[in-house]
Chains A and B, each alone.
Chain A
Amino acid sequence: MIRFSEVYKRYPGGGDALKNVGFRLATGEMAFLTGHSGAGKSTLLKLITAIERPTRGQVWIGQENISKIAHRKVPFLRRRIGIIFQDHKLLHDRTVFDNVALPLVVAGLRHQDIRRRVRAALDKVGLLRKERNYPLQLSGGEQQRVGIARAVVGKPPLLLADEPTGNLDPSLSLEIMDLFAEFNRVGVAVLIASHDLELIKQLGYRQLVLSEGELVAGGDSR
């Protein structure tokens, strides 16, 4: 699903954010991306979503090499990836339903289909009763679940999560991780950046460990 091959990323005026990173994430696989802050986790996720381009090396998503992807193709890449953020990135002036519907509206689905799929996604994260609420009326954990529903509503083959449990207490964090595991069981590949090592150990999925821009564990064995 994801393949990094000898990827370097250097920001102008800075050092190497990523150095010679190589790994694969198989279709339907779930893994964690760990490391200290500043180790390059965010940069790696930005390369996958084409927010940044690698300085050297190749990034493959599915069958597509996105190292030099054209601007106009980026939206269609992003529609195949569900992204979950630490700060949820919800629109506060729209209801839960409208927030979750956004990726489908963007993709131009028909109204009836949008309705059906949004409700299915909200049902999966257990928030169907709150579809008419506004995000600020929900708790932090609930807001994160709205974010997850929005990420999965388009049925992408790949989910990316950037510190999805950063602001949540341990029991809520476990709930959220269970939710990811559930999507993984139905064949969605999941990559979660997190530094909640306790929780990760508990769950027992593969770990990619970044340290100062280098992949020190879980990468390609070369």
Chain B
Amino acid sequence: MRPWLIRHLQVFFYSLGQLWRSPWGTLMSVAVIAISLVLPTALYLALEVVDDLSGQWHSGAEISLFLEPEVSDQAAINLAKKINQRPQVASVDYISATAALEEFRQKSGFGVALDLLDKNPLPGLLRVLPKDNQLSSIQAKAWLLEFSALPEVDQAEYDYAWVQRLQAMVQIGQRLGLIFSILLGGGVVLIIGNTIRLAIFSRRQEIEINKLIGATNGFIRRPFLYSGMQQGALGGLFALAMIYAALSLLAPAVVRLAGTYQSEFTLQIVGWIELLLLPLLGGALGWAGAWLAVGRHLREIEPG
């Protein structure tokens, strides 16, 4: 191995050893760092889930026209043709009351209960798909008014509005997450900076002696930088463990909830690479904090 590599490894293990020798102090600062990292990460993950879910409705930019029960299949098909002639409509699907019941019977598992009903409770449905992927809200409102005025139509619904609202909320959440991340990241830098500052002062004499026997500033700086980086990375690892613990507590409940919606949705949003970012990020923040403290205080300590 090259000498400089050996020297760096020596310092690396030396500062790890220093952390090990004061386990309580180390544990405290690492825990604080971990919590600071967990909060924005958890928020980010939650938003990821919501975004994922809302993405599944993204194609739902359609208008549903629920027909009056007495409208016949033929009348419904005629109406569909009429609506389809409008220039802004891409397509119109007709789902008859019978077909709707069949679909519901298959998907819901209420088959036996449905057999007990003496008549089909479901209405026929026209699904109107506009040419523009997303209708503006004004346009959507105009269409809804127009369609619900048709004699055959019982009720018209545009179910995209709440998706849009949800996405807007997710966006606000993402901004908030960014703000939290910056604040808490700054917090990590300051926490580590302070820990390193205390370490520098408690080893003042050692630093003086090192300077007297010809240590360069780089040599004196190195163990402190490594120490900051290690504390940050350890905090990141702790945060990782916390998030995994939280996910494994949540996952069964989420699967049960998703099950009631006939959804196969599970909590598998975070890849390993994404989570390895946490220790890396922690390490980088720790390094930055140590750099701040070292830059400020090492110069003050001169043999005199």
Contact = CB atoms under 8 A, between A and B. Distances in A.
Nearest to A73: B216
B212 A108 contact: no
A72 B211 CA distance: 11
A89 B3 contact: no
B34 to A, nearest CB: 29
Interface stretch (A28-36, A57-65, A99-107, A199-207): A99-107
Chief secondary structure at chain B's binding surface? helix
Contact of A150 (B4, B206, B213): B213
Interface stretch (A76-84, A170-178, A181-189): A76-84
Chief secondary structure at chain A's binding surface? helix
A83 B3 contact: no
Nearest to A108: B7
Nearest to B209: A89
A103 B7 CA distance: 14
Nearest to A94: B206
A49 interface: yes
A126 interface: no
B304 interface: yes
Interface string B206-222: 10111111111101000
A75 B209 contact: no
Given A108-B3, A108-B7, A83 B213 contact: yes
A161 B217 CA distance: 24
Contacts of A106: 210, 213-216, 219
B76 to A, nearest CB: 87
Contacts of A111: 6
Interface string A128-163: 000000000000000000000010001000000000
B159 interface: no
A108 B222 CA distance: 13
B6 A78 contact: no
Nearest to A71: B217
B294 to A, nearest CB: 16
A79 B303 contact: no
27 contacts: A46-B304, A51-B302, A51-B303, A72-B216, A75-B211, A76-B214, A78-B211, A78-B212, A78-B213, A83-B212, A83-B213, A89-B208, A89-B212, A91-B206, A91-B209, A102-B209, A102-B210, A102-B213, A103-B213, A106-B213, A106-B214, A106-B215, A106-B219, A108-B7, A110-B3, A111-B6, A150-B213
The 8 closest A-B pairs by CB, nearest first: A79-B214, A78-B214, A106-B215, A103-B213, A75-B214, A75-B216, A89-B209, A51-B303
